[in-house]
Amino acid sequence: MIRLYDTLSRKVVELRLRTPGEVSIYVCGPTVYDVPHLGHARTALTYDVLCRYLRWRGLAVRVVSNITDVDDNIIARAAEAGSTEEQVAARFTEIYVNEMTALGVAEPDERPHATGYISEMIEFVQELLDRGVAYVIDGAGVYFDVDRYPDYGRLPHRRPDELRDSAGARVAVDERKRDPLDFALWKAAKPGEPDWESPWMSGRPGWHIECVAMSLGLLGDGFDLHGGGSDLIFPHHENERAEAEAAGHRFAGLWMHSAMVNVGGEKMAKSAGNFRTLADVLALHDPRSLRLAMLQAHYRSTMEIDESVLAGAAAGIGRLDAFARRVGAIGAVDAPARTEDTDAARGAFAEAMDNDMGTPGAVGVVFELLRKGNVALDRGETGAAAAALDTVCELGGALGLRLGAAAVHAEATLEASPAGTPSEAPAPCPSSGAGAADEGIQQRVDERQAARSARDYATADRIRAGLADDGVELEDTPTGTIWRRVR
RNA sequence: GCAUCGGUGCCCGAGCGGACGAAGGGAGCGGCCUGCAAAGCCGUCUAUCGCGGGUUCGAAUCCCGCCCGAUGCUCCA
């Protein structure tokens, strides 16, 4: 039974599916007016891991994640850059998608753009107007009438009067609104702003209606799970919920929110001067290191990211890869499909993940199995080691961690038996092989081996040092020397 | 101010009434293995679980108070 924390009920509840075996998920994507930062990475990674795990559990997952490409920030950005809103949105959408791909975040099944759903939004606003839960203010926009939705405030767990007290505290309230809490479904366009025709006035959609139209439009009423960053709980998600339900639609079955990333003890934000772009991190680190670092914290706890955290995770990735190399170096062996250790690991892994996506525990399980695999290898129990590697790869894969991304070169594996043997590592695991450019290196490795055999360690060490200068690292194993590029 | 979440070893970070004699990762140190490295293994630093009360046969886990921090109430992932 898969259980997740539901923001609405504030409880860890069973994930109930609208259709058995199929999970429908909507994740709020970015507003594309700037480059992605670590917070976007954490949110994307959280739901990427959720989907991968659900698929590993045998469920069919359909995930929709939008791109908000009409918004005040985009308009402001276009104005200051002297370009159009379309250009700004297109540029940052491309960057976002590229960086998510680099991060290893799987493409959602659908990535709708808000601008592609304007007519659906207009219909939806009309539906709300027809039901009398929205009203038009001439020249300003169409507003949702919060008083007509008695459940308002349940998601953020605030009573409307509490919310009302702070509404307008920092934002000027249009006094023509019936209630300060009322929010825009449709905004009248100011001169020069992008706009669409509507039955009320030319303008553009409000933020919340965009997600309602896209989620309900693509996934249908009562889809299973709605996710996003915790900073979206209010007002965005609450307003989405109000709009959808007030229009008579059953909305999300479960609300999931991932926590924020802090830098230097504070929420990362441009205004705090601690803004870290994803590109900055990706330029310095293996994307898997960022993923591991985030996996090692629970998705609901605020986490701190700094160089030491990243470096620590990088070392962990190094161990994972080293294990794959060691096992790879022994070549093909008869590996049992399962052992006591792999069965136990699978069980513990699922147990951790089923319990509100306990990735830190799940990662712990993977590392424990890795250690057992290494012990088996040290003992010469190659079958058990290979079985452990298979499972480490499989479980790592369910978390989006691929092993052995760096090329590994080993004579032993070059001579290994044909593909398809039982011990052959599954797809995400390392494959080896030497390209033409590597022949020179292999030759030097062979020369060093010859020197070692002749006990001419001075020569052997000189060759090794030379290779190190060229960015090639060696590891002597019982089955031969393996080498890899470290830069 | 109101609300929510959190304070666990040198660092990150799980656990959330009994299997905790507190996972896992990282850093340091010692040992084993290795011609030497690398990789690996073992050990260690390494835990009065923010402070003070209480409930309980039993509390890191529940309750009360206090201190500290972050977040939300505002565009925000």
- Residue A419, pLDDT > 60, answer no
| Whole-number Å distance between alpha carbons of A310 and A40 | 17
- Write down the mean pLDDT value for chain A: 88
Residue with nearest Cα to nucleotide B76 C1': A231
| Whole-number Å distance between alpha carbons of A377 and A380 | 5
Which nt has its C1' nearest the CA of A321?
A: B39
Q: In percent, how much of chain A has pLDDT > 90?
A: 71
- Residue A403, pLDDT > 90, answer no
In this prediction, residues A376-390 reach a mean pLDDT of: 93
Question: pLDDT tens for residues A276-315?
Answer: 889 999 999 999 999 999 999 999 998 888 888 999 999 9
What is the band of A333 on the pLDDT scale with cuts at 50, 70, 90?
confident
pLDDT of amino acid A19: 97
B34 C1' to A476 CA distance, Å: 9
Which nt has its C1' nearest the CA of A34?
A: B76
What is the band of A409 on the pLDDT scale with cuts at 50, 70, 90?
low
What is the band of A10 on the pLDDT scale with cuts at 50, 70, 90?
confident
- Residue A433, pLDDT > 90, answer no
In this prediction, residues A422-433 reach a mean pLDDT of: 39
Three-class SS of residue A184? strand
Query: Is residue A199 reached through a cis peptide bond, with omega within 30 degrees of 0 on the bond before it?
Result: no
Q: Strand B: which nucleotides have any atom within 7 A of a protein Cβ?
A: 1-6, 11-15, 23-27, 34-42, 69-77
- Residue A154, pLDDT > 70, answer yes
pLDDT of amino acid A173: 61
| Whole-number Å distance between alpha carbons of A74 and A85 | 6
What is the band of A272 on the pLDDT scale with cuts at 50, 70, 90?
low
Q: In percent, how much of chain A has pLDDT > 70?
A: 89
Which nt has its C1' nearest the CA of A455?
A: B35
| Crossing angle for the helix pair A307-329 and A287-295, to the nearest 10 degrees | 110
Which nt has its C1' nearest the CA of A167?
A: B73
Instruction: From A223, A237, A216, select the one nearest A24 (Cα to Cα).
Output: A223
- Residue A410, pLDDT > 80, answer no
pLDDT of amino acid A426: 37
What is the band of A273 on the pLDDT scale with cuts at 50, 70, 90?
low
pLDDT of amino acid A484: 87
- Residue A418, pLDDT > 90, answer no
pLDDT higher at A174 or A251: A251
ipTM for the complex shown: 0.94
pLDDT of amino acid A196: 95
Burial of A304: CB neighbours in 10 Å, binned 0-12, 13-18, 19+: middle
In this prediction, residues A422-435 reach a mean pLDDT of: 41
Question: pLDDT tens for residues A18-59?
Answer: 999 999 999 999 999 999 999 999 999 999 999 999 999 999
Q: Which domains does chain A have, with CATH numbers?
A: 3-282 (3.40.50.620), 285-433 (1.20.120.640)
- List all residues 6 or more positions away from A449 whose beta carbon is below 8 Å from its beta carbon: A460, A480, A481
What is the band of A431 on the pLDDT scale with cuts at 50, 70, 90?
very low
